């Protein structure tokens, strides 16, 4: 019994030490974002001689953070919303329908998890549709990229919801749409929350698709501000660090407040699947 307590305390101490190691980059980024240009020229863990909060104000103005935030929010929320609204009914039909066609479609979705996106075909497709350089084109790419994993996770979660619910609802005169949206969909909220948060983080932080497929300063997203801002102010590390903090902050806030939903969705899906 005593050895178990000792092992438990040792694991807790190890976890705390690892947490400090992980937090060091965050600390270094924040500290150097508050320094003068001269102090931040060589990034260190040392506190600034004077906290320069106006660095953030200057970055927000020079990097056009307001517009970039609006663009990132628009692309992210529309992409995540459509992935859920389109993927949840697909997952329900594939799970409840045991036909060969459903199995083939599910297999194709699993293949989609293994195939990495290729830029040249995407450019050709978007050019053909007249969507090159538009937010809609990037949104459609994200839907295609993250729908397979989202549908698969929802499909596995639905295995834990008994078909007796469907049969009872149909016997009470419930149609297919009402069955799904009023009965099944609310019961999928744990896994939907998990998928939404996962997709939010992936889309919000993505750099590759906007740099390739968005054109014009009006379509800049938050990750792109770091790229362009560093190109203009490559010797002013205090501003670059401040830009990194601004871009990271929304994702960090979402993750801190929503991590319990991520864990709950994953564990419930694992048990039910």
* In the chain, domain spans: 55-272
Q: What is the model's pLDDT at position 264?
A: 60
The end-to-end CA distance of the chain, in Å, is: 35
Q: What is the model's pLDDT at position 232?
A: 67
* The CATH number of the domain covering residues in 55-272: 1.10.3720.10
Helix then strand then coil, in percent of the chain rounded to 5, is: 80, 0, 20
Q: What is the model's pLDDT at position 27?
A: 85
- What mean pLDDT is reported for the chain? 83
Interval 31-52 mean pLDDT:
84
Identify the CA nearest to 147 among candidates 79, 213, 49, 197.
79
Whether this prediction's pTM lies above 0.85 is answered by: no
Interval 157-167 mean pLDDT:
84
16 burial (CB, 10 Å; 0-12 / 13-18 / 19+) is exposed
Q: What is the model's pLDDT at position 8?
A: 73
Identify the CA nearest to 37 among candidates 243, 235, 228, 231.
235
């Amino acid at each position: 019994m005593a050895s178990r307590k000792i092992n438990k305390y040792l694991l807790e101490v190890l976890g705390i030490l690892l947490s400090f190691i992980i937090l060091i980059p965050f600390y270094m980024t924040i500290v150097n974002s508050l320094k003068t240009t001269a102090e931040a020229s060589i990034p260190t863990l040392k506190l600034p001689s004077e906290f320069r909060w106006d660095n953030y104000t200057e970055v927000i103005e020079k990097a056009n953070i307001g517009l970039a935030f609006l663009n990132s929010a628009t692309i992210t929320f529309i992409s995540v919303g459509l992935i859920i609204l389109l993927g949840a009914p697909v997952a329900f039909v594939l799970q409840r329908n045991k036909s060969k066609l459903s199995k083939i479609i599910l297999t194709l979705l699993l293949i989609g998890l293994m195939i990495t996106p290729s830029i040249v075909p995407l450019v050709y497709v978007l050019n053909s549709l007249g969507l090159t350089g538009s937010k809609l084109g990037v949104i459609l790419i994200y839907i295609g990229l993250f729908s397979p994993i989202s549908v698969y996770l929802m499909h596995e979660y639905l295995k834990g919801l008994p078909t007796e619910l469907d049969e009872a609802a149909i016997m009470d005169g419930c149609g297919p749409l009402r069955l799904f949206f009023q009965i099944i969909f609310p019961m999928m909220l744990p896994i939907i929350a998990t998928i939404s948060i996962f997709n939010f983080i992936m889309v919000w932080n993505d750099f590759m698709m906007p740099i390739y497929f968005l054109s014009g300063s009006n379509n800049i997203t938050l990750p792109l501000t770091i790229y362009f801002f560093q190109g203009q102010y490559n010797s002013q590390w205090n501003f670059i660090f401040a830009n990194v903090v601004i871009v990271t902050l929304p994702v960090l806030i979402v993750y801190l407040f929503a991590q319990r939903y991520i864990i709950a969705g994953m564990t419930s899906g694992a048990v039910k699947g």
